[in-house]
Chains A and B, each alone.
Chain A
Amino acid sequence: MRCPEARAILWPPEQPRLAQEAVLEARAHLASCPECAAWFRQDRVLLDAYTRLAAEGAPDEVRERVFDALARARATTRSTHRDDATESLPGPPGEERPPRRRRLAAPFLVGSGMVAALLAALILVPADGTPERAAAGEVFVEDHLRRTVGEEHILTSDPAAVRTFLARELGVTVAVLSQAGLELEGAEICLLEGERGAVIIYRMGDARISHYLVPRMEAEVRAPRLSDASSVAPGGLLPVVTWSSPRVEQALVGELPADELLRIARAGRGDGF
């Protein structure tokens, strides 16, 4: 038996194999061939070196840039192909999956869903009040996609966990609002006008506040301002503050007085939003 054949038969060396004739012959060759023995020893040295390097993992900068590129590609693709609903596949049999995050409680989802619907309504209803996209059926397709895509949620008061979640899901690094009296409750992925975004949920006293973030290739920087759309909310009770950082469109919606919501947005912007 020649060296290449023996090495191929015994590869990978740590894998158990049946003692078939070819295997026995290859082992016999290995026992009498110094070159093949050296080859397998070299393999161990190189594998150890590679394993040590691989254990370092990808740097955060690389992770962020890669997911940023994915988010940009998604945004571009969505403008022509809204096919996210099928962009998933089950893990192969036997493959270990990363642990799932806890799901938000149903009331939380209903509440945040209502806020999302409100924000979507604010976006969708044109000046003359005609719900064009609804008439065209797009909003229903969008909602179907949003549900099918399997929204991801995370329920946590840990800002670092939310940052990691958003960096992984959206490819953007965002700071979590940190102000006295503002308690972080969690975050979830949302779909607004075909764009994948996120909403971070806070509570201030009894009021629930939703902070929407939608990554953009380029967004016109705008200071926080109370949106005119606030007035179309049922009863006018839910003010909306919108603003934009260079790459993220943002909105704050909550059961708070408008000036309080505006103050939170402005303070948050000072924190780097």
Chain B
Amino acid sequence: MARTFEEVAGAELDGLWAGALFLVAGDEDRARRLVETTLVRAAAVFVCRARDEAPGAWLMDRMVRAFLAEDAVDGGSPPYPERGRGRGPGSSPPPDPLHQAAGATPPRARAALWLVLFRRRSYADAQAVLGVERAELATLVEAQAELHRVYRALLTAADPVASDGRRELR
């Protein structure tokens, strides 16, 4: 049975939102704009998609490209510590440590990490989406070590006891 674009978008929205938050290091406004832009543009060309292509992966690929294109134009959002300055007592809470840690990695590495680490895409898939060779992709995903280091440091700073409790996971 055929699916309308709205059905596909509805089914994939949670995954896109989670990915967008990671890509933009927890900036909810920017994540919403990224998801919105991705879906509106995708809706316009949905008819052209190959019939055997997984629409979820297709949308995610488009979101990564939209993110990198946006970042190339305006430099993207500053990392979390810069963005968090001037927060008032009534402002929204800071992003999750994982999203904050994402802000410590370069945008292209973040995109590679999202595709490879979190979406479990193959290296070949990720190469195609990012338009890079295997060696460059391998270099990009090396940022996992930095992501993990900052994430652990943020967890420890936020809750030393809980963080110690998680130490066995390392």
Q: Which residues of A contact B80 (CB under 8 A)?
A: none
Q: Are B9 and A66 in contact (CB under 8 A)?
A: yes
Pick from A39, A57, A69, A89: contact of B40, CB below 8 A.
A69
Nearest Cβ on chain B to A53's Cβ, whole angstroms: 6
Which residues of B83-122 are within 8 A (CB) of A? 96-99, 116-118, 120, 122
> Are A66's CB and B39's CB within 8 A?
yes
- Tell me, in angstroms, the Cα distance from A8 to B9 when the chains sit together: 31
What distance in Å separates the Cβ of B54 from its nearest Cβ neighbour in chain A?
5
Number of interface residues of A (CB under 8 A): 51
Q: Known contacts A66-B13, A89-B46: does B4 contact A49 (CB below 8 Å)?
A: no
Instruction: Please report which residues of chain A, range 71-90, place their CB below 8 angstroms from some CB of chain B when the two chains form the complex.
Output: 73-74, 77, 83, 86-90
User: How many A-B pairs fall under 8 Å by CB?
Assistant: 148
Shortest Cβ distance from B9 into A: residue: A70
**A27-60 at interface with B (beta carbon < 8 Å):** 39, 41-50, 53-54, 56-58
CB-contact partner of B138 in A7, A12, A152, under 8 A: A7
Nearest CB of chain B from residue A10's CB, rounded to whole Å: 11
Partner of B1 from the list A46, A48, A70, A100 (CB cut-off 8 Å) is A100
Known: A39-B145, A42-B145, A92-B54. A11 touches B1 (CB 8 A): no
Say whether B4 contacts A92, CB under 8 Å. no
In the complex, which residues of chain A have a beta carbon less than 8 angstroms from the beta carbon of B40?
Answer: 69-70, 73
Q: State whether the Cβ of A168 lies closer than 8 Å to any Cβ in chain B.
A: yes
Partner of B98, one of A49, A62, A100, A149: A49
A149 to chain B, nearest CB (A): 7
Does A98 have its Cβ within 8 Å of any Cβ on chain B?
Answer: yes
- Which residues in B have their C-beta under 8 angstroms from that of A88? 2-5, 46
B169, A58: Cβ atoms under 8 Å?
no
Using CB atoms and an 8 Å cutoff, list the residues of chain A in contact with chain B.
4-5, 7-8, 11-12, 14, 39, 41-50, 53-54, 56-58, 62-63, 65-67, 69-70, 73-74, 77, 83, 86-93, 95, 97-98, 100, 149-150, 152, 168-169
Residues of B within 8 A of A (CB): 1-11, 13-18, 21-22, 28, 32, 35-36, 39-40, 43-44, 46-47, 49, 51-56, 96-99, 116-118, 120, 122-123, 134-135, 138-139, 141-142, 144-145, 147-148, 151, 166, 169-170
Could you list some 30 contacts between A and B, CB below 8 A?
A4-B139, A11-B122, A12-B120, A39-B144, A42-B148, A42-B170, A45-B148, A45-B170, A46-B148, A50-B98, A50-B118, A53-B22, A53-B96, A54-B18, A58-B14, A65-B32, A67-B9, A69-B36, A69-B39, A70-B9, A70-B43, A87-B4, A88-B2, A88-B4, A89-B2, A90-B1, A97-B1, A98-B7, A98-B10, A149-B4
